[in-house]
Structures are given as C-alpha cells and as structure tokens.
Amino acid sequence: MHNVKFPLGKILSLLAILSMLFGSCQQDNDVQPTGSQTSANDIAVLKSFLSETTGTPLNDITFADDTFLIDGDMVMPLQNARDHYVKSQTEKSAAGRTEQRQYMYLLTPAVAANITVYINTDVPAVWVTAINQAISNWNTGADSKIHASVTTTAAGASITVSMNAAIEPGVIARALLPDAAGNAGSTVQINPAYTSSLPASQKQFAMTHEFGHNFGFRHTDQTNGTLITDTPVTDANSVMNSVVLNWNGFTFYDFIAFGVVYPHQPGTRRLLRYYSSANTDHFYTIHTNEIGPTGNGWAFEGGSGYVYATPTPGTVPLYRYYDAVTMDHFYTMNFGEVSWTYEGVACYVSATQVAGTRPLYRYFNTVTKDHFYTLHLGEVSGPSWTYEGIACYVWQP
C-alpha cells in the first residue's frame, strides 16, 4: 500500500522480493467523542503533537474519517490521539520521542504477559491458520514478555481480528497501536482481497507483523523516530519492515528488539548464545555487537535467559575466562575457578533460584574441550558430555 511513499527503486534495492506493502492501524468503530466538536484547530494541534511524539514529519500525517494516518501506514483514531495528548499534558516527563520501531506507548508488563486474541467469525480458515502461527511466533520465537492466546469470547479480548472489505487496494491488513493506558492495539483488520492471492507463508508474515503493531512496534524500514537500543537502522528481513516477505523466522535484530522492549525481567538483557563449530566452542555475551548476527564462524543460537549488565541487588558476577589452547570459553560465579585468561565479568546473575529465574546448566565435552551452558537439562547427551551442575540462575519463565 501507499506505493507513492516508497520509491520503487529503493525498495527493490533493499529487498529481493517485492510483494505488498502493509497497512496498519485503523479502528473500526471510532466515533466522534461525545459532547465534543472537533475544530480544524484541534486537528492541527493533534497533528503537531503526533508529529513531535512519533518523530514523523508533519506532512506525513493526514487526517480523514476521524483517523490520523501516520507514515502512510499507521493509523490512530481521533479518540486515541486525544487520549494520548491529554495524557502527555499530565505527564511532566512526557519527553515523547520514541525509538525507531517502538511506539510512544508500550504495553505494561502485565498486559504483555496476557494478551487475548479474538478471531471474528468472518475470518476465513486460511487467515485463522496464519493468526495462530503468528501467535506461536510471538510466544516462542520472540522469547519476550509478550504472551498471547486465542480466546473464543469477544468481550474483553485484547485484540479482535476481523475482515474489512473497505480497506484500500494494496493494503493487506491494518493494526491499531497501543493505547495511552498500555493496552495492546485492539484491532487487526484484514483485506479480504488477499485471502486467495497471498501465499500462506506471507499470510503468516503479515499477521506476525500486524500483531507487532498491536504491541507497539513501528516499521524497521522507516526512518522516523530513533532506534531501539542495540538495533540497526536497516534490517532487510525484519518482520517489522513495511513489505511482506515469506515467513522465515524473526531476524537476529527482531529478536534483540523484542528483548530490549519486553524483557522477561525489567532492567535485564539477554545472554546471547553462539557456537563455533571450527573451534568447538560455545560463547555467551550480553553485547549484541561483540559478534552480531554472525561473524568469524560464529553461529547465533538464541537466548540463554535474561541477566543484568550491571551490579544489581541480589545478583553476583558471572566471570568469563578463555583458554587459547583448547579454544574454550568458560563462565563461573567462582572467581579463580580456572587459571585461564580472565576476560572480565560477563554479566550479573542470581546465585540462588528466586522468582522468575531458572537454572543455567553447565556441561563439559571431554572430547572437544567445550564448556556448554543451557536452560534445558539434557539438551546434550552422550559419552563425551559431562554434566557439571548449575552454573547460575537467569531470568526466564
């Protein structure tokens, strides 16, 4: 949708396969607020407010049908804009400017942990499949505070997914952004024109994307706003780009972004796990730029729980060592456990099992000389692996 906003050559240079642009964010039942007339001046004030708070140039915000269109893609009903404006006036600290891909209002942790999705009866089975896949992607692939489930009760659902034949041609679906109270954007609307034409894999991508808007993520490939910490300005396969691709999982930086915005434990960051098959060495770091998505033969293997980057009450240092002879990284709470090269404090962890934590198990491969740490007891087995006990506790449900 809104092809005019995106020079075709630019899109093609970014993406091997250009499919469809998404739309997002429309509320189906927004009405004129009771007892209040909307003057042109009110609209101008709200446009200016939305421009400032979303980092969107003023002329990229339009208003029609009681709805603001932001960035040509994200839509905010008039009432929502009013609510946000009123809230910002009452919050002295409302600096407003959001990070790239992150909307000004996010879900509260309690909301994020219990999102219910109602699928309206007009949604065809092929889209229901995509919705369920998208929910699974967010629940398992994102490894964040966000947890969603389908509800068969319309009343009280966090998000209602329905069809809307009035969506303009070229727009696959639209989703509402979070409200000022920290609730998920309450609707996703699907254009029925894409029910038969869009491949199933792209439907899955589209639904995963739209829920991302409901959770407060903006478009990776749009430049308004500032960056989410630890994420780059472009990410060709990000699920939050405005172009639909085949579903191929979240990118490294999608994964990073979700963990930064919705960590399992406030104030923590992910311990990232890598493996070098050349060195038969498992490596763990909280620094997303130490290796990045990949590099020097390192394969990214996902998260190993959430930990603190700085000393925090109730935590102890996890020390990092390296042995150049066996090419083995080693992590321990016991300073001096080995007399290898000391590489500093990897992160801060819990020495005991407290609420919200689980053990990080330590194994050693006596053949390849590799220390391995995992959340899953029994992830490795066989005669070469020795279980060495619990290394520490990390924040992970």
Q: Please list the residues that pair with 349 across neighbouring strands.
A: 316
Q: How far is the CB of 72 from Zn ion (least distance, A)?
A: 10
Q: How far is the CB of 209 from Zn ion (least distance, A)?
A: 6
Q: How far is the CB of 294 from Zn ion (least distance, A)?
A: 27
Residue closer to Zn ion by CB (options 6, 22) is 22
The rounded distance, in Å, linking the Cα atoms of 383 and 23 is: 54
Q: How far is the CB of 246 from Zn ion (least distance, A)?
A: 17
Residue closer to Zn ion by CB (options 22, 321) is 22
Residue closer to Zn ion by CB (options 70, 391) is 70
Q: How far is the CB of 263 from Zn ion (least distance, A)?
A: 24
The rounded distance, in Å, linking the Cα atoms of 376 and 361 is: 7
Question: What's 194's DSSP letter?
Answer: G
With contact defined as beta carbons under 8 Å apart, do 1 and 23 qualify? Answer: yes
Residues near Zn ion (CB under 5 A): 22, 24
With contact defined as beta carbons under 8 Å apart, do 243 and 22 qualify? Answer: yes
Residue closer to Zn ion by CB (options 24, 332) is 24
Q: How far is the CB of 219 from Zn ion (least distance, A)?
A: 6
Q: Give me the count of residues in the chain.
A: 397
Residue closer to Zn ion by CB (options 214, 265) is 214
With contact defined as beta carbons under 8 Å apart, do 53 and 225 qualify? Answer: no
Smallest Cα–Cα separation from 302: which of 329, 277, 271, 331?
A: 271
Q: How far is the CB of 206 from Zn ion (least distance, A)?
A: 9
Q: Please list the residues that pair with 320 across neighbouring strands.
A: 331, 344
Q: How far is the CB of 32 from Zn ion (least distance, A)?
A: 26
Contacts of 308 (CB under 8 A, 6+ apart): 267, 268, 269, 315, 347, 348, 349
In order, the DSSP letters of 98-146 are PEETB-SS---HHHHTSEEEEE-TTS-HHHHHHHHHHHHIIIIIS-SS-
Residue closer to Zn ion by CB (options 242, 304) is 242
The rounded distance, in Å, linking the Cα atoms of 33 and 43 is: 13
Residue closer to Zn ion by CB (options 22, 373) is 22
Q: How far is the CB of 283 from Zn ion (least distance, A)?
A: 35
Residue closer to Zn ion by CB (options 72, 359) is 72
Helix, strand, coil % in the chain, rounded to nearest 5: 25, 30, 50
Q: How far is the CB of 212 from Zn ion (least distance, A)?
A: 8
Contacts of 297 (CB under 8 A, 6+ apart): 276, 277, 278, 279
Residue closer to Zn ion by CB (options 179, 221) is 221
Residue closer to Zn ion by CB (options 24, 102) is 24
Q: Is 391 helix (H, G, I), strand (E, B) or coil?
A: strand
Residue closer to Zn ion by CB (options 214, 304) is 214
In angstroms, how far is the first alpha carbon of the chain from the final one? 39
Q: How far is the CB of 167 from Zn ion (least distance, A)?
A: 13
Q: CA of 308: how far to CAs of 144, 145, 162, 257, in Å?
A: 15, 16, 41, 17
In order, the DSSP letters of 274-316 are EEETTTTEEEEES-TTTSTTEETTEEEEEEEEEEBSS--TT-E
